[in-house]
Structures are given as structure tokens and as C-alpha cells.
Structure 1
């Protein structure tokens, strides 16, 4: 096997939670906010490093890559994009960026900690909040990576320094250089196709991304076309419905998940479905192919699939240990008590408890009881529901059907993107869980999937995605309504900006009428402990988010909706904010 080919070959290895390298010293380490006794340094450090199967590019390429000014692309552990340095990394990879594979052929990728680790600054001190929504500029990272790789493939002269760094002494071998050039150009062709078609002209900005749109684009646009390049470029659409990253503490307890609330939640199979979809969105390798001898499914979902299923389970186990962050500064006890009474009022009186505090939800067999997650249309931005209606060509998955998650076989054209994703995720999980379901003697006619033949743990996958029909890609959502999930508000003080699309800078702003909320604000790590959210003075990024009012609810950036608490008196609002800090 050539050295270049080895660069693209990942043999995934588990990174057990009990074995992480010793931490290197930092000059000014952040203050870790109290997140419960289960969330200790060992689990935290493993959460930062555990591979989940993402394959961005070979690690050797990433380390060799230069910015347009000639500095290393990894300089500063990507802190210019808001990612956080990881003292356990030996390769300048930040928190949530990791690698796996054999020595010399490691593949770098992302893990959930990259997007779900937050650091804020108060009075010049940095505070680390694990599981919090990252204040990171993912679109700029993607765009700059595209530019840097374009420079590498621009000419033979530009490619030579890159090849010498990647190959070392092997760069003297013309065949090795030629092989590397082939793979780099093939990688760039796919990546550049995705970037030019998917990234919006108006950037998402820091702390936001269109995750659903990018997952649909990755799976339908890059993965399910005819080999060898497996692309269907026409399936890629502009991902222009940015949302803020959700916080992870108590995420396993909610009985529904995803901002539109379409997915049921609360057991390990549903968690695996949720997390596998995320891996596919951040460059997980997935190339299914028809296989008539795969009993029940008739497709091979795993032979060219980079998902690290054991790593995903380890990460979910870690997420279950993340407690809500405790307010690290002084609270006014009298105000907290008064705010609690306001919080517990009914909705018509400006209270919050009915939607935002634990109520009994679904109890899955063998699991702890979940919390009920209200999914309501409260007048907020509607654009993500348009993304849910995307349709695409099914490529090599045409005709595939898993009755557990699909009401009918996938059509060749005009298929719901979410149905294609449901087939990809459920098929991968079923085959990974029980390989005995996927082998049959030659000549045996494969039967349709019998749901009752599946273990109880897998039957719940029927609830992981909406069973879309011909007329609607999100069955059960009445036309003209745009509901989103309401989370339990533990730790909400650490999750700004607010609303599902991050269009409101602080909780104080959220308690104002939509037209009185700030129409624009800068995004960064500086935190305002009085208004509870993003401070007005930000220097981390040169970016201002411009929002729209209720006359343009479908902009993706509308600050409209969620009028609860807006009629409270100033004193009542102050008390409610103090209570929200205490959760």
C-alpha cells in the first residue's frame, strides 16, 4: 500500500475514557465552572479527545497546510475561530478536534466537544463551561480551509512544498508525489463542491450554524452518488437557516430533541441516532451500496462507513455526566426567591415553569424517566422548517426501505432529504448493532424487515425521525405553523445568544417586546452578568449579527416571538433574571 493511500485509510481505534494523556501546563488555565461531582477532570479530558468517526482530512495534511500569509493553518490551535486550546493535544488541535487511525495514516476530524464547549470572559477572567454552546465561527473555518487547499492544488509549484512536508523523504519518489496529488485533488474537488454550493453569502457568524442543512448536504450531496466520486452536486443547497448550538447538559433527559422537536429521545438507541446524524454532518465517511445478500435491509451501510460506534456510546456516557453549570458569582437570595415565584406563575402571567421545567415524559424500558419537552409555535423565526422540507435525489439508495423509519421506499427523484437521512442512520445502526442480521446464504431471497425480529433497544428507532409522506417531509406539523422545542432552563444563563436561532443577545433582551430587542449586536466571549448574556463590547470577532423584526419572520435572523414575560415590571424582570442565574 502506498504512503499516500495510507493517508486516507482510517482503522478506527477506541480512545477509552480511562486512558488519556497527561495534561500539559497552561500559563493561564480557565476557571472550570462547577458542573457536578460526576463531571471531573478525567471525564472532561476524555470528552475533549474521544473520536466519533469524523474524517475531515489526513492529520499530516492538516499539519502541513498553510494559510495565505504562510503561517501554519493550525497556528494558535484555531483560536482565531473561537476554538479552545487543548493541553492534551500534541498536534495543536483544539478541544473537540481529534484523530484516529494507524501511525502515519491518522485522519483528523471533529468530535462533539468542538461545538459544545464554551468559554466566557468576565472581569478579565476566563470561565470554561463544558457542554455549553461554542462561541466558534465554523463557517470561517470551512471557508478558510477551502482557500488554503485551493492554493495547494493551484499549480505543481505550489503543491511541491506541501508534498515535501507530508511525505518527508518519500517526496523523492515521483510515484508517491503523484499518488498524493491524486488524493489531494480528489479531496479538494468534493470539499470545494460542498463549500461553493452550501455556504451562504450572509455568514452564519460565530456561535451559530445551519447544522440540519449541512447534514442534509453532506449525506445527499457527497455520499450517495454513483462511485467513484459518489457526489450528486445538484442535491446541495444553500444552508441559510442558522441556529445556535444547543447545550448538552440534560439533553439525554429531554423526551424530544432537535430544535424543531421532530425526534424522540431518551434511550441509548435514540441517542445513537441523534449522534450518528451529527457525525455524518461533520465529515463522517458514508458510502452505502446495494447488496441483495444483506438480510432485512438489502443494502450494505457499513463497509465504507467511518462512524466510531463505540466512541459515540462513550461520548453519550460522558454527556450524561455533564451537570448544568452553577452560577459562579454572588446571588441575591431575596431576589432569587421572588424570581422563583414569578417563574412558577402561569404563562398568561409571564411565568416560565409550564414549558421550561421538568415534567414527566416518556419512560423507555430500562431507562430513567425523561422530561416532557413542549414543542410549540411561539412566533419565532420559521426558516429552519423550510430546511426540513428539502428534497433530493436518492442516488444509490433509490428503492431502499426500512419500514421501521420509512413509510415507503425511497424515490429516485424529489425524495425528502430527511427520509434519506433516516434510512442512512437507521440502516447503519441496525447493521452495527447485530451483524447477524446482515448475512445470508447466496440465493436466499431477503425478506422485508420484521420490526418484531429486532431487539427491543432498536425498535425505538421508529421514533427517531418523522415518517415523511409524499406531501410533507415533516409529518404531524400543521401547515403554516413553525414549532420548536422548549428546553428545561437549567444553566440557561450560560447559553447566550437566545431563541433557537441565536437572534437575541441576552435574557434581559428576551424579556423585551421583539421590536425593542437589539436589532444588531456583536458576538464574542465577553459576558454581561447583569443582562445575562453577551456583553455589548466584544473584541474576539469582527462580526455583527443583524436581525430582522416580525415583518420578516423567515429571514433566518428574525428576533420575533417568545413574548412571555415581556409585560412584567422592571422589578419583576430583575427578580426573574436573578432566579434564572440560580438554575
Structure 2
């Protein structure tokens, strides 16, 4: 007979099952100003209230980049301008905001937050919104796309931040200004020395992170605007930094476009490779969000004791539950016909026929009234779709498990992690361990304030059914059932003669999803290698070999950003499809059968989704 899970585990599971709810208030209407936007952006109706939107932008999830006061005082490497200043944040393509907000009193860009650790140290962190908030501009009007792709250059942020910190520690005049801002005019010599030492230590840690992500990859393609290799960076976080194994790094050289978030919660699996299940019981979404925190500077300690399955971490469990709940209520943006040129409905109706014939078998049509319903994703063979495989290829590479070797997948259940592994099982083990470490009281506190059916009392009642000797489902653990599905797919992969890995997903596939709101999410393909929807409908040989990214100016005819060599007086990023990982080949469904007029019809229909 299997042993029941500890009560704390079940409380965590029950907490994940019933999302933390938030008072929605009035839904934001299309055309209303975005609160405190410095770009005078306006909203589209996407199912959120102002309160939910601002909470999504500025709720701390446990990311710790550098001490908060340091960030406020840090200067650019080559000038006295503040690193957090609007000019620099705009150049990196983050979204500056005003300071007149209870959510964001210091006017941080969207997705940058202040958090306080257990020692009362304030930290700068990132949240989902930094990478998943879009913005487009057309004829002088700026439109916010909640849950859309940022076009920020996250790699430049990481590298430039370390350069600024290093220069501050080395340059006496810069350091004096920095120390005065952080410590005050009356700072002692000892205090300044301690501050400089701490600055050097944190700079070294952030530099180590950058070195691991660029590990032995001199020809690594630049991420540029709107891309990152989140999975590669998360795997390095777990297998390199948390393992204390710098030589265990692999270059994070498979940058992909940020997926849009509407429909994420409703999908059975997420990520471009479809490796992360949302369920059952939504435990998968909690693990996914915990892993995301580790990827954006979250902290975790893995003990040497292989029997320990609770890990101290900076992950704020209750807040990632809240963030998931808000995303569950997010809806896709509709083409704003009072701002962009109206859709030709007659052409779009003809385009529907082409979509049903060439697209709908992979990209199901979801009506707006059904956007809140769950759906099953289509996973397509990469060889069949013909798109760049580097994202998948990197994920299945094996390296040393280190501290994770011999531990179970999910700490208390699952298969043992072998001595060589890809990053997924150690990641799952890490996040589950971080969830189990969080006190029962913090979970109950959030459930108690919920407006749904679930209260602390019902959680207690559910947990009691799993106490030894109490009635239950034959004492079968919930996590055992969850990982039965994981391990079945694991066996599918092990029988594949091409690879030998424990990655719990179908071999070599990418995820296809409903295309609701696709017009607002350029560039296209998983690696962002196609600039607009018009080119997505062309044979690969006719697509742009290079194009420019950086401007937010929208091209409503072709449904993408305008191809501009400069923006704001600065050079744009040149996307070169000849570089490794940047191929724009594949996904040619229907392109040979359609003529130019039919492509126009299909494009017009895509705008209407």
C-alpha cells in the first residue's frame, strides 16, 4: 500500500486547485487610457479591470535582481543618466510608467516590481508583465496589448545592467554618487566599504549568470527585440547555479518569441514544445509559474541531503497563484476598427473558407464567448512542420544532474533522476520543493479571502481524507496520479531510437494553438523569424531573409511591425534568418495552393480572429 502524502502537500495541492480570486471591478473599455502610461497608451477590452491590470503589472512573485535602492540609484556605464531612466528603458523597449500609483510609487516600468525578503531587504524583481505586455502604435495612437509579446531586449538588459554595476564599483566618482544615494550624506567609510564589497559580489553573481547563458558560444545569435531563450536560462539556473556547477552550462542560444498569454490557462499544455502540462488539479500551472520565477532571478537553495524535499526559495506561492488566476480571465484583443483600418468583411468571409481548409486542423477556431473554456492543444511533428528545431534540440541535451541525481521527480513521488539528465526533471523537483517549503498558514490566508466556494475549512476537510487511517481514495496520492501521465510520455520517448531522455513529452513536436488575437502578436513562428502575417502565407523561399525590429509602428495591411532601419533615431535590430536558430523555413501549409487574391482573403480573416 502506498504511503499517503503529508498534509502540507495536500493543502498546497488544494490551494493550487482553487485559484486565488481577485475582485475584478469594472471591465476596461476599449479606448480608455492606460493608468500612468508615459506613452499615452490606450486599452483594448480584454476582460480585465484597471485593478487587475495594475496588479498583474506590479505584483511581486519572488524575483530578486539586485537591491531595490541600488537600482533606483544606478547610473548608466557611460553617463550620469539613471539606468532606470525612461530613455534607457525605452531604448530597451520596456514600458515606462508614471509614479502616481499605489501599485508602483517609484514609477518602475511595467513588469518591474519591489519586493521585500525575510530579512527586510528590498529587492528589484521582474514579473510576468515585463515579458508579456505588448504595445503597438498607429497614426499617433498607442495601443496596449495585455498578455501580448514585449519587444524588449532582455539580453541587452542583463548585459548592460552588469556593465553599469561593474563601472559603478570601479569608478570613484560614480561610486561616491551611488553610495550617497543609497546610504545618505552621513555614510561612514566602513559603510561605503561594505557597500562596495556587496556591489562587487552581486555584480559577480549576475555576471556568472550571463556567462552561463552565453557559455562557449561565440557565434550565439543575438536575441534582439522580442525574444529570449527562457527555457535555456531556467535550465542553467537549476543545473548550473543551484547545483554550484559552472562547467555544467549550455548556451541559451535558442531564443524564441514570447508566447501570448490569453488562452494559456485554458490549454492542456504550454510552452512552444508543449512539455509543460497545466493539469490535473492545475498543479502543473503552479509548477510552471514557479519555474518562471527561477528564470527571472528567483533564488533557491538545494540541500546536499538527498532525503530533503523542501527547499528554501524566494518564490511567493500565493502571488503566483494570483497571477495565474488573473491570466485565466484575460481575453484576446479584437482588431480595433475605430483605430486601425476596418476589416473587409466580405474578403474575410472568403478567407474563412481557406482557413477551414488549410489551417483549422491545427489552429482551432475559438469564439470569443468560448475563450474561457479549456481546450486540447495540437502538437505537430517538427519534421512535418519544417520549422527551426533548435528550441527542442537544446531541451533534450543531457548534462550532469549533480545534486538532483537520485532525487525523485517531484521530491516525494516520481521516478528517480538519473546521473545524466536534461533540465526538466531537476526543474520540477526544484519547484515542487520550493512549494512544499512554504508555510501552511500563508496558503490558508489566501484561500480564506477567496470569493469562491473554497475556504480554509474546506481545505482542512479535504486534507483530513488523506491523513493515515482516515478514509480516502485508497490512500492513492494526487501527485502519483499526476506523474503517471508524465511517466507514460517518458516511456514513449525512451522507446524512440533517436533520443534517450526523460523529457515527458511527445518526441520532437511544437505546439499549435488557437489564433485568436494573432494580429496583435508579431513577429511570427516560434522563433520570431517571420515579420508579419502576410509573409506567413508565402512559401518560405519568398519570405524576407533579413528584416528590422525595434519600432512599435504597426503595419495594418500586412499585420506586423513596420520594417524600419531606425527607430527613435537609433539603429534597429537586424534579424538574420541565416543564423543558427533563426530559420524562417517551414509552416507552408496551403501556401502553394493559394494565389495572391486568396492570400489577401485569408489574411483579412486572420485579422478578424
- Structure 2 equivalent of residue 131 of structure 1: 147
Superposed, 1:165-564 pairs within 5 Å as 165-169=181-185, 171-172=187-188, 174=190, 176-199=191-214, 201-225=220-244, 232-266=245-279, 267-291=281-305, 298-303=307-312, 305-329=313-337, 330-345=342-357, 351-357=358-364, 369-377=374-382, 378-402=385-409, 406-411=414-419, 414-432=420-438, 456=478, 459-460=481-482, 463=485, 467=490, 471-474=500-503, 477-478=506-507, 482-524=508-550, 525-537=552-564, 539-540=566-567, 542-548=571-577, 555-564=580-589
CA displacement, residues 313-366 of structure 1 (integer Å, 9 cap, x when unaligned): 110111011100000021112112111121111xxxxx211110159xxxxxxx
Distance in 2, Cα, partners of 1:463 & 1:434: 27
SS at match of 2:314: coil
SS at match of 2:90: helix
Q: 1:270 to 1:27 in 2, by over 3 A?
A: closer
Distance in 1, Cα, partners of 2:75 & 2:322: 34
Match among 67, 81, 103 for residue 92 of structure 2? 81
Conservation of the 8 A alpha-carbon contact between 1:273 and 1:461 = no
CA displacement, residues 230-252 of structure 1 (integer Å, 9 cap, x when unaligned): xx211222211010000000111
Distance in 1, Cα, partners of 2:542 & 2:166: 44
Conservation of the 8 A alpha-carbon contact between 1:58 and 1:106 = yes
Distance in 1, Cα, partners of 2:319 & 2:526: 28
- Structure 1 equivalent of residue 12 of structure 2: none
Deviation at 1:475, TM superposition (A): 5.4
Q: 1:163 to 1:453 in 2, by over 3 A?
A: farther
Distance in 2, Cα, partners of 1:113 & 1:27: 16
Deviation at 1:463, TM superposition (A): 5.0
Conservation of the 8 A alpha-carbon contact between 1:98 and 1:111 = yes
Deviation at 1:161, TM superposition (A): 3.1
Conservation of the 8 A alpha-carbon contact between 1:269 and 1:458 = no
CA displacement, residues 17-36 of structure 1 (integer Å, 9 cap, x when unaligned): 5699x99755652121222x
SS at match of 1:252: coil
Q: Which region of structure 1 is more displaced relative to structure 2, 257-266 or 196-205?
A: 196-205
Deviation at 1:461, TM superposition (A): 5.5
Distance in 2, Cα, partners of 1:578 & 1:235: 48
Conservation of the 8 A alpha-carbon contact between 1:205 and 1:543 = no
Relative contact order higher in (CA < 8 Å, ≥ 6 apart): 2
Distance in 2, Cα, partners of 1:138 & 1:538: 20
Distance in 2, Cα, partners of 1:301 & 1:18: 32
SS at match of 1:503: coil
Deviation at 1:62, TM superposition (A): 0.6
- Structure 1 equivalent of residue 81 of structure 2: 71
Q: Are residues 1:115 and 2:142 paired?
A: no
Q: What 5-or-longer segments of structure 1 have no aligned partner?
A: 1-14, 226-231, 293-297, 346-350, 360-366, 437-450
- Structure 1 equivalent of residue 44 of structure 2: 33
Conservation of the 8 A alpha-carbon contact between 1:263 and 1:463 = no
Q: Are residues 1:582 and 2:608 paired?
A: yes
TM-score normalised per structure 1:
0.82
TM-score normalised per structure 2:
0.78
Q: 1:301 to 1:393 in 2, by over 3 A?
A: farther
- Structure 1 equivalent of residue 591 of structure 2: 566
Deviation at 1:106, TM superposition (A): 1.3
Q: 1:581 to 1:398 in 2, by over 3 A?
A: same
CA displacement, residues 518-570 of structure 1 (integer Å, 9 cap, x when unaligned): 00111131111111112123633623434336xx8xx2000000001312111
Deviation at 1:104, TM superposition (A): 7.2
Distance in 2, Cα, partners of 1:397 & 1:546: 38
Q: 1:526 to 1:455 in 2, by over 3 A?
A: farther
Q: Which region of structure 1 is more displaced relative to structure 2, 147-156 or 461-470?
A: 461-470
Conservation of the 8 A alpha-carbon contact between 1:208 and 1:242 = yes
Distance in 1, Cα, partners of 2:398 & 2:76: 36
Distance in 2, Cα, partners of 1:431 & 1:453: 23
Q: 4+ residue stretches of structure 1 with deviation over 6 A?
A: 433-436
Conservation of the 8 A alpha-carbon contact between 1:402 and 1:427 = no
Q: 1:433 to 1:515 in 2, by over 3 A?
A: farther
Q: 1:136 to 1:458 in 2, by over 3 A?
A: farther
CA displacement, residues 45-87 of structure 1 (integer Å, 9 cap, x when unaligned): 1111111111111110111111022211001071211111233
Q: 1:178 to 1:284 in 2, by over 3 A?
A: same
Measured on the aligned residues, the alpha-carbon RMSD in Å equals 3.2
Q: Which region of structure 1 is more displaced relative to structure 2, 51-60 or 72-81?
A: 72-81
- Structure 2 equivalent of residue 106 of structure 1: 122
SS at match of 1:119: strand
Conservation of the 8 A alpha-carbon contact between 1:358 and 1:372 = no
Q: 1:317 to 1:140 in 2, by over 3 A?
A: same
Deviation at 1:487, TM superposition (A): 1.1
Deviation at 1:374, TM superposition (A): 2.9
